[in-house]
C-alpha cells in the first residue's frame, strides 16, 4: 500500500504520517468548501437567465446549509463504520453529481433538488466534523494547530476560488464555473484515495505526541454506529456546556457562511461593485482567515478557550456593524475584509477543543457534529433571511445589523461557561 511506503519514508525523515493525512484532509475540505461557496457568485447569473428571485434561490441555498450541518453527526458515524476514504470519495462523487446535473436545469425545483439536497448531503459528509475527527484521531500534541489549519481550509476554500469562478462566469457563463468545481472535486477525490487512513494504528503508529501504539478500536455493528449520534446528543444535551456551544455556533453560522459568503457579492452589486471585485474581497477575507484561524489554533493550545470565543464573537459583531458605514468604497471594504477575515472562522479551534475537553476524544466527533449542526441552522437562517430582506425590504443591511447584534449576544453568553465548567463536567460524567 502506498500509505505504508510513504509512512516509512516520512518516518526516516522524522515526520509523522499524520501530517500526510492532514494534507489530504485539508485539500478535501478546501475543495468541498469551494463547492459550498460557488453559489454565492452565481445568484445574479441565475436571476438573469431564469428570472428567479433572490428569495427563491435563497431557499435552495438554505436547504443546502441545513443538510450540510445536520449530516455532520451522522457523517461521523459513517466515518466510524466505513472509514475515512470510502466516505470522503463518495461525498466528492455526490457533490460532483449535483453540480453536473445542474448544467441542464430549467426550473427552480431542480435547483432546490440539486444544489439544495444533493450538494447539501455531499458537503455535509466532509464538513468540519471530518477535520475534528482527523485531529482527535491522529494528534495529541499540536491538535489545536491542526484544527486551526483544517478549519482555515474550509473557510479559505469558500473564498479563495470565488474570484476565479466569478471571472469564468463573467467570460463564459455560470456553467463554466460549475465544470471547474467538478474538476477540483476529482483531484481531491484522487488524493484522498491515495493518502487517507483511518487511524495511526492501521500503520502501526502511535498518535502524534504519544510513544505507544493504541489498541485497535473494537468493531461495532452498523446499527450501533448509526444510533451513536443520537446517544451522544441525548447525553451531551443534558449539559449547559453543550447548549452554550451550540447556541454560540448557531450565531457563528448566522454571521459567516450563511450571510457573508452567500450574499456579500450581491450586496456589493447593489452598491455598484462588480462581481469580480466583490469576489476578490472575499478572497482577501479567505487569505486573512487562514492567518487568523491558524493563530486561533495556536492560541487554543495555550489559553482559556472560553475567553478566546468571547473575544472572537465580540470583534466579529463589531466588524459586521461597521460594514454599512464603509460607504462600499475600496478603502472601507478593504478594511472590513482584513478585520472580518481574521475572525471569519477563528471560533472553530476553541469550540472543538472545548468539546473534546468536556466530552472526551472518542465522543468529540459526534458531539461536535451536533454543535456544527447548530452552526448550519444559523447559516440557513441567514441565507434565507438575508434573501428575504433583499426581496421584501429592498436591502441586505438589516440582516447584517441583526447578525452583528447576535454576535455580541454570543460573546456575552460564552462567559456563562466560565463559572459552570465543573458542574457541566459532573453532569456529563
pLDDT tens-place string over residues 111-170: 889 888 998 899 888 877 788 788 888 888 887 788 778 877 766 666 667 778 888 888
Helix count and strand count (H, E) for the chain: 21, 0
Q: What is residue 246's predicted lDDT score, i.e. its pLDDT?
A: 92
Q: Give percent above pLDDT 70 in the chain.
A: 93
Where are the chain's structural domains?
13-205+229-428
Distance from CA of residue 5 to its chain's centroid?
32
The domain 13-205+229-428 having CATH identifier 1.20.1250.20: the answer here is yes
pTM listed for this prediction: 0.71
Query: How many angstroms separate the CA atoms of 95 and 246, rounded?
Result: 27
Give me the sign of the Cα torsion angle 360, 366, 370, 376. positive
Residue (of 309, 384, 370, 294) closest to 127 by Cα position? 370
SS3 assignment, position 15: coil
pLDDT tens for residues 277-310? 887 887 788 778 778 878 887 888 888 888 889 9
Q: Which range, 51-55, 61-65, 236-240, 258-262, is most confident?
A: 236-240
Average pLDDT over residues 193-205: 87
Give me the sign of the Cα torsion angle 236, 238, 243, 245. negative
Query: How many angstroms separate the CA atoms of 429 and 427, rounded?
Result: 5
Answer whether residue 423 shows pLDDT above 60: no
Amino acid at each position: 500500500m502506498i500509505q505504508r511506503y510513504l509512512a516509512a519514508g516520512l518516518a526516516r525523515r522524522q515526520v509523522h504520517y499524520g501530517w500526510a493525512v492532514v494534507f489530504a484532509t485539508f485539500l478535501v475540505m478546501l475543495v468541498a468548501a469551494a463547492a459550498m461557496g460557488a453559489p454565492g457568485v452565481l445568484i445574479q447569473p441565475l436571476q438573469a437567465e431564469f428570472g428567479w428571485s433572490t428569495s427563491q434561490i435563497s431557499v435552495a441555498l438554505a436547504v443546502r446549509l441545513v443538510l450540510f450541518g445536520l449530516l455532520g453527526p451522522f457523517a461521523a458515524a459513517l466515518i466510524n463504520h466505513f472509514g475515512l476514504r470510502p466516505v470522503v470519495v463518495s461525498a466528492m462523487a455526490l457533490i460532483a453529481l449535483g453540480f453536473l446535473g445542474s448544467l441542464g436545469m430549467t426550473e427552480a425545483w431542480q435547483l432546490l433538488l440539486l444544489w439544495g439536497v444533493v450538494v447539501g448531503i455531499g458537503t455535509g459528509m466532509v464538513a468540519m466534523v471530518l477535520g475534528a475527527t482527523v485531529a482527535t484521531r491522529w494528534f495529541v500534541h499540536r491538535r489545536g494547530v491542526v484544527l486551526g489549519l483544517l478549519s482555515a481550509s474550509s473557510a479559505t476554500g469558500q473564498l479563495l476560488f470565488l474570484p476565479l469562478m466569478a471571472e469564468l462566469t463573467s467570460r463564459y457563463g455560470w456553467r463554466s464555473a460549475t465544470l471547474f468545481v467538478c474538476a477540483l472535486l476529482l483531484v481531491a477525490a484522487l488524493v484522498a484515495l491515495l493518502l487517507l487512513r483511518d487511524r495511526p494504528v492501521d500503520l502501526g503508529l502511535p498518535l502524534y505526541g504519544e510513544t505507544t501504539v493504541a489498541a485497535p478500536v473494537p468493531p461495532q455493528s452498523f446499527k450501533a454506529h448509526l444510533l451513536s449520534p443520537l446517544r451522544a446528543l441525548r447525553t451531551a444535551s443534558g449539559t449547559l456546556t453543550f447548549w452554550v456551544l451550540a447556541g454560540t455556533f448557531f450565531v457563528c453560522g448566522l454571521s459567516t457562511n450563511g450571510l457573508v459568503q452567500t450574499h456579500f457579492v450581491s450586496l456589493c452589486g447593489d452598491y455598484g461593485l462588480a462581481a469580480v471585485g466583490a469576489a476578490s474581497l472575499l478572497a482577501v477575507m479567505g487569505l486573512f482567515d487562514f492567518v487568523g484561524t491558524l493563530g486561533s489554533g495556536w492560541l487554543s493550545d495555550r489559553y482559556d478557550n472560553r475567553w478566546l470565543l468571547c473575544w472572537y464573537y465580540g470583534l466579529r459583531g463589531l466588524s459586521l456593524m461597521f460594514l454599512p458605514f464603509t460607504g462600499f468604497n475600496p478603502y472601507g471594504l478593504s478594511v472590513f475584509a482584513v478585520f472580518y477575515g481574521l475572525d471569519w472562522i477563528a471560533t472553530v479551534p476553541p469550540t472543538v477543543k472545548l468539546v473534546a475537553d468536556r466530552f472526551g476524544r472518542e465522543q468529540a466527533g459526534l458531539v461536535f457534529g451536533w454543535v456544527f449542526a447548530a452552526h448550519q441552522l444559523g447559516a440557513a437562517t441567514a441565507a434565507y433571511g438575508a434573501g428575504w430582506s433583499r426581496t421584501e425590504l429592498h436591502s441586505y443591511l438589516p440582516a447584517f445589523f441583526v447578525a452583528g447584534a447576535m454576535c455580541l449576544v454570543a460573546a456575552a453568553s460564552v462567559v456563562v461557561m466560565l463559572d459552570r465548567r465543573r458542574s457541566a463536567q459532573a453532569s456529563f460524567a
